[in-house]
């Protein structure tokens, strides 16, 4: 209050008390809470980006890094990797990014600069990954190592920025602790799976591959020795 005139709360227009709305029925004296379309769009934006950038992208990266090391998984790992990344790009890069633009135009006075910049960078990185995969050099090309390094660095940057931006979005949406804990549980599970696969492919798989030629050599030597004795 200022000179008997109601004033805005000190928290500003983005505070929760300003966002709360409802309809008052003067006849019954009841207040009915209303849910604005912007709130629904924010929730859709958050769900799309969490599922795409925060879950599908890491799963696709894990598939590409570890599943391709198993000869029996070739070329299945490639199709699974491409499917995860394309679906994540459609949900997050196109739908999630599009809903973010709509939210920005509907709220010109509210601009979350850090979250917005990271979202733009993620969209650019994902777009470069998708179109770069279409024109990637052949395995025998001298430019293939440069493409592999770009693909690796862009993928790691996308994963780190996306997870950080998802938690940033939780803060902006004032999400309940349940959603934070649920997503944290998913990320920890993926990290545990990654650690187990790293151990399996780095130490167990090479030993198996080394033992197979040794076994074949021993069998071949045995066959040659038997054949010599028979002759």
Band of pLDDT at residue 188, cut at 50, 70 and 90? very high
Residue with the larger pLDDT of the pair 121 and 201: 121
Residue 155 pLDDT exceeds 50: yes
In a domain, 91, yes or no: yes
Residue 107 to residue 166: CA distance in whole angstroms: 20
Residue 195 scores a pLDDT above 70: yes
Tell me how many domains the chain contains: 1
Q: Is the pTM of this model over 0.75?
A: no
Residue 212's alpha-carbon distances to 41, 61, 93, 218, 230, in angstroms, are: 56, 29, 44, 10, 27
pLDDT at 4: 58
Q: Please give, one letter per residue, the 3-state secondary structure of 138-154.
A: CCCCCCHHHHHHHHHHH
Rounded average pLDDT over 66-74: 83
Q: What is the pLDDT of residue 116?
A: 84
Q: Which residues, 6+ apart, have CB-to-CB distance to 66 below 8 Å?
A: 194, 197, 198, 200, 201
Q: Which position has the token pair 């940033």?
A: 168
Please tell me which residue, 46 or 217, carries the higher pLDDT value.
46
Q: Is residue 23 part of a domain?
A: no
Range of the structural domain that residue 66 is part of: 37-175
The proportion of the chain whose per-residue pLDDT surpasses 90, expressed as a percent, equals: 23
In this prediction, residue 166 has a pLDDT band, given cuts at 50, 70 and 90, of: very high
| Confidence (pLDDT) at 230 | 45
128 within some domain: yes
What is the overall mean pLDDT for the chain? Answer: 76
Q: Quick one: pLDDT band at residue 46, thresholds 50, 70, 90?
A: confident
CATH of the domain at 139: 1.20.120.1770
In a domain, 119, yes or no: yes
The closest alpha carbon to 44, from 86, 99, 94, belongs to: 99
| Cα 20 from chain centroid (whole Å) | 32
Looking up tokens 């809470």 gives 33
Asked whether residue 153 is assigned to any structural domain, the reply reads yes
Per-residue pLDDT, 51: 92
Domain-located, residue 22: no
pLDDT for res 222 = 42
pLDDT bin (cut points 50, 70, 90) of residue 153 is: very high
Asked whether the predicted pLDDT for residue 185 surpasses 90, the reply is yes
| Residue 81 annotated as lining a ligand binding site | yes
pLDDT band at 212 (very low <50, low <70, confident <90, very high): very low
| 73-128 pLDDT tens trace | 888 888 999 899 999 988 887 787 788 777 777 665 566 788 888 988 998 998 88
DSSP conformational letter for 103: H
Residue 1 belongs to some domain of the structure: no
User: Which pLDDT belongs to residue 167?
Assistant: 93
Helix extents (H) in the chain: 16-19, 37-51, 57-66, 76-88, 97-106, 113-134, 144-173, 177-199, 205-230
45 is in an annotated binding site: yes
How far does CA 152 lie from the centroid of its chain? 15
Residue 198, domain member (yes or no): no
Q: Known binder of ligand: residue 174?
A: no
Q: Is 9 annotated as a binding residue?
A: no
Phi, psi (5° rounding) for residue 118? -60, -40
């Amino acid at each position: 209050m200022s000179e008997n005139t109601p004033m805005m709360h000190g928290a500003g227009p983005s505070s929760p008390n300003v966002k709360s709305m409802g309809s008052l029925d003067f006849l019954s004296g009841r207040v009915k809470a209303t849910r604005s379309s912007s709130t629904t769009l924010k929730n859709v934006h958050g769900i799309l980006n969490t599922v795409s950038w925060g879950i599908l992208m890491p799963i696709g990266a894990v598939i590409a890094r570890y599943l391709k090391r198993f000869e029996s998984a070739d070329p299945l790992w490639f199709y699974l990797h491409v499917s995860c990344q394309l679906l994540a790009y459609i949900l997050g890069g196109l739908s999630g990014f599009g809903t973010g633009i709509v939210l920005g135009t509907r709220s010109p006075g509210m601009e979350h600069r850090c979250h917005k910049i990271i979202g733009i960078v993620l969209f650019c990185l994902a777009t470069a990954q998708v179109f770069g995969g279409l024109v990637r050099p052949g395995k025998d090309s001298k430019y293939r190592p440069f493409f592999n390094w770009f693909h690796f660095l862009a993928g790691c940057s996308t994963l780190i920025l996306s997870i950080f931006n998802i938690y940033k979005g939780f803060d902006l949406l004032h999400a309940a602790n349940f959603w934070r804990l649920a997503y944290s549980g998913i990320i920890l599970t993926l990290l545990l799976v990654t650690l187990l696969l790293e151990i399996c492919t780095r130490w167990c798989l090479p030993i198996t591959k080394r033992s197979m030629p040794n076994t074949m050599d021993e069998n071949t030597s045995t066959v040659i020795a038997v054949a010599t004795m028979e002759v």
